[in-house]
C-alpha cells in the first residue's frame, strides 16, 4: 500500500501546485482588465467551472489537438521572457514596468555570486527541480501508445524529450534570474507587471497550456 499511497499523495500535491499557479495566473489576468480577484477565489471558480468538468470526461482524446497549441504557448512565454530580459524594461527597480509591481518582486541583485548556491535557500531550488518532471507515472501509458514500442525506441524518446525539457527549463530559469535576480518569485510570471501586455498574453498562454494539455 505504500507505493499506492505515495503516488496518490504526490499527484495530489502536484495538482495542488498547478492549481496555485492557475490561481496566481488568473488573479493577475483579472487585474490586467481592472478587476480585483484573489488567488483563492480564482482557484475555486476555475476548479468548479473548467477543471471539474474536464476531470469528469471519460475520454480525453478530444483534448489531443490542444497539445501542440500548449507547446506553442510555452514557447511564446519563453520568447516573451527573452524579450523582456534583453530590452531593459525591468532593468531599473524604480522605473518602467518594474515600478508597477510590489517592491518585493522588483529586480534585486546581490554580491554573493556563485557562492550563493551553498546557501540553505538552494534547497528550494532542489525541491523545484525534483518536481519539474512529474510525468513518470504516465510512462507505462506512453510506452504502450508508442508506435513500434521497442525498448531502444523508448529510450530514444525519453532521452530526447528530457534533454529538450531540461534545456527549456534552464533557459527559463536563466532569463528569469537575469531579469529579477534574488527577487525572482517561485512562479516567475508574478514578477511581471499586470500592465505589461506582452507578459499578460504569456499568462494567458500558460493558463491555456496547464488547463488543456
Asked whether the CA dihedral 105, 107, 111, 112 is positive or negative, the reply is: positive
pLDDT in tens, 78-124: 999 999 999 988 988 787 888 888 888 888 887 777 777 777 777 77
The pLDDT of residue 71 is 87
3-state secondary structure 105-157: HCCECCCCHHHHHHCCCHHHHHHHHHCCCCCHHHHHHHHHHCCCCCHHHHHHH
Top mean pLDDT of 10-19, 121-130, 175-184 is at 175-184
Q: How far is CA 50 from the centre of its chain?
A: 19
User: What's the CA gap between 104 and 97, in Å, rounded?
Assistant: 14
Over the chain, what is the mean pLDDT?
84
> In this structure, how many other beta carbons lie within 10 angstroms of the beta carbon of residue 162?
12
* Mean of pLDDT values over 203-213: 84
The pLDDT of residue 101 is 87
pLDDT in tens, 132-162: 666 666 778 778 888 888 889 999 988 998 8
Amino acid at each position: 500500500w505504500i507505493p499506492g499511497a505515495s503516488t496518490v499523495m504526490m499527484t495530489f500535491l502536484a495538482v495542488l501546485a498547478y492549481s496555485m499557479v492557475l490561481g496566481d495566473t488568473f488573479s493577475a489576468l483579472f487585474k490586467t482588465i481592472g478587476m480585483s480577484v484573489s488567488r483563492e477565489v480564482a482557484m475555486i471558480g476555475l476548479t468548479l467551472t473548467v477543471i471539474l468538468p474536464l476531470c469528469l470526461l471519460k475520454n480525453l482524446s478530444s483534448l489531443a489537438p490542444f497539445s501542440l497549441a500548449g507547446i506553442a504557448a510555452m514557447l511564446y512565454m519563453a520568447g516573451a521572457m527573452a524579450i523582456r530580459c534583453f530590452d531593459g524594461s525591468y532593468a531599473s527597480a524604480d522605473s518602467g514596468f518594474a515600478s508597477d509591481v510590489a517592491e518585493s518582486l522588483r529586480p534585486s541583485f546581490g554580491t554573493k555570486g556563485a557562492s550563493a548556491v551553498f546557501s540553505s535557500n538552494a534547497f528550494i531550488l532542489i525541491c523545484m527541480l525534483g518536481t519539474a518532471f512529474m510525468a513518470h507515472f504516465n510512462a507505462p501509458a506512453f510506452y504502450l501508445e508508442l508506435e513500434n514500442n521497442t525498448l531502444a525506441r523508448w529510450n530514444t524518446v525519453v532521452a530526447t524529450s528530457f534533454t529538450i525539457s531540461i534545456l527549456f527549463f534552464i533557459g527559463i530559469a536563466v532569463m528569469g534570474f537575469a531579469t529579477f535576480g534574488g527577487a525572482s518569485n517561485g512562479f516567475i510570471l508574478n514578477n511581471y507587471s499586470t500592465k505589461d501586455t506582452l507578459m499578460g498574453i504569456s499568462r494567458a498562454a500558460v493558463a491555456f497550456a496547464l488547463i488543456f494539455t
